[in-house]
Amino acid sequence: MRHARVYAMVVAMWALMIAGGGIAVNVLGPIHAQDESGEAAVSAAKAAAAVGLVVAWVWALSRIKSAIFSPRRA
Partner 1 sequence: MVVPDAHKAPGTTVARPGGPAILGGFAAGELALYAMHPADALLAAVLATAAAFAVGLADDLRAMGGWFKPVALVAAAVPILAIGAYDTDLAFPLFGEVHIPVLYVGVVVAMMVVMGNTVNSIDVLNGVASGVMAISGAALAAALVVMGRHDAAAACAPIVGMSIALWRHHRSPSRVFPGDSGALALGCMYGAVAIHGGAEVVAAIIMLPAITNSFLFLSSMRRIIEHREAARPTRVLPDLRLEATGDARAPVTLVRLLLMGGPMTEPAIARAILRMSAFSACLGVATAAASQAVMA
Residues 12 and 28: their CA atoms lie apart, in Å, by 23
Nearest to 29 by CA among 5, 6, 53: 53
- When binding is defined by CB under 8 A, the residue of 55, 56, 58, 67 that contacts partner 1 is 58
Query: Residue 10: what are its φ and ψ, rounded to 5°?
Result: -65, -45
If one asks whether residue 61 binds partner 1 (CB under 8 A), the answer comes out as yes
| Residue whose CB is less far from partner 1, 4 or 34 | 4
If one asks whether residue 41 binds partner 1 (CB under 8 A), the answer comes out as no
Binding site for partner 1 (CB under 8 A): 2-3, 5-7, 9-11, 13-14, 17-18, 20-22, 24-26, 28-29, 43, 46-47, 50, 58, 61-62, 65, 69, 74
